Amino acid sequence: MQTVLQQIINALSLGSIYALLALGYSMVYGIINLINFAHGDIYMLGAFFAYYVINAWHFNFITALLSAMIIGAVSGVVIEYFAYRPLRKSPRIAVLITAIGVSFLLENGMSYFVGSNARSFPQVIEQVNYNIGGVQISNVQILILATALILMVSLQLIIQKTKMGRAMRAVSVDPAAAELVGVNVNHTISFTFALGSALAGAAGILIGMYYNQIDPLMGMTPGIKAFVAAVLGGIGSVPGASIGGFLIGILETFFQSIGLSAYKDSVVYLVLIVILLFLPAGIFGKNAKEKV
């Protein structure tokens, strides 16, 4: 029982990070039906920015988190404005290829400027381990989970309770009708990218604290796993993306615990195939018929 509880704690910590990433995928897709494959690399930018401000300016956790979220939000808006907005009326394949190109540009650009070697993430807080009934839990794990939950709840409140949240929901249903009633579609889409990218920046500093290591290619695999989480929960659904992230974290931790860590990535992709075959709309998604 102690082993099971220990793995659940580990899974929740990792799953909360995947959930934050999956939320960005889900929101952007819900607004403009785009799979933003550069989203994982924004998470990498957030991690590196936090790395530098902690080392150079000795930021504490809160200020480093906020700065990573700001750099993530700005990066998301810039990418949307220059890469995606000019192609908004183009075929989907053109936008998809552009998203992949932006992803490679960010990865190789960072490798060129800072080097491709992995580096240790600074300890922004001193780690303290607690033993509760034979289960080890650290203050870092508690902080990661609490931060992720606060951000997810805040996002849900923004979407449900604010004027911009209502605009986001209107644009996701019918952009043309939303524009007719006074919604600025371009501003709403930019805000959505900023919000989702800010969460990715936050996930970057949290994953740096979790694994104590970052590198320019760190966003590739977690980005795909977060996409799987978004599809699993129902892409376009905010609660679904959160739950999908936790489920992927649980699945990955389970395979590590039984000695199959070499296959933890493969099983995530297998889950994606199964979901697309038997439950293409995801857990909370809705089947929608396309008009021809």
How would you classify the pairing of strands 119-120 and 135-138?
Answer: unpaired
Reported as a single tens digit per residue, the pLDDT across 53-67 is 999 999 999 999 999
256 and 268 Cβ atoms separated by less than 8 Å = no
Helix, strand or coil, per DSSP, at residue 115: coil
pLDDT at 289: 52
Report yes or no on 89 lying in a domain: yes
Alpha carbon separation from 40 to 24, 172, 221, 262 (Å, rounded): 10, 22, 8, 22
Report yes or no on 37 lying in a domain: yes
Domain residues for 135? 20-219+234-239
Give the end-to-end CA distance of the chain in Å, rounded to a whole number: 54
pLDDT at 258: 84
Report yes or no on 275 lying in a domain: no
Report yes or no on 274 lying in a domain: no
Report yes or no on 129 lying in a domain: yes
pLDDT at 287: 59
pLDDT at 2: 77
Report yes or no on 160 lying in a domain: yes
pLDDT at 286: 64
pLDDT at 292: 44
Average pLDDT across the chain, whole number: 91
Q: Which residues of the chain have pLDDT under 70?
A: 1, 285-292
d(CA 179, CA 42): 29
Report yes or no on 292 lying in a domain: no
Give percent above pLDDT 70 in the chain. Answer: 97
pLDDT at 82: 96
Report yes or no on 286 lying in a domain: no
pTM assigned to the model: 0.92
In the chain, the number of structural domains is 1
Of 241, 205, 277, the closest CA to residue 28 belongs to 241
For 116-144, the DSSP string reads: SS-EEPP-SS---EEEETTEEEEHHHHHH
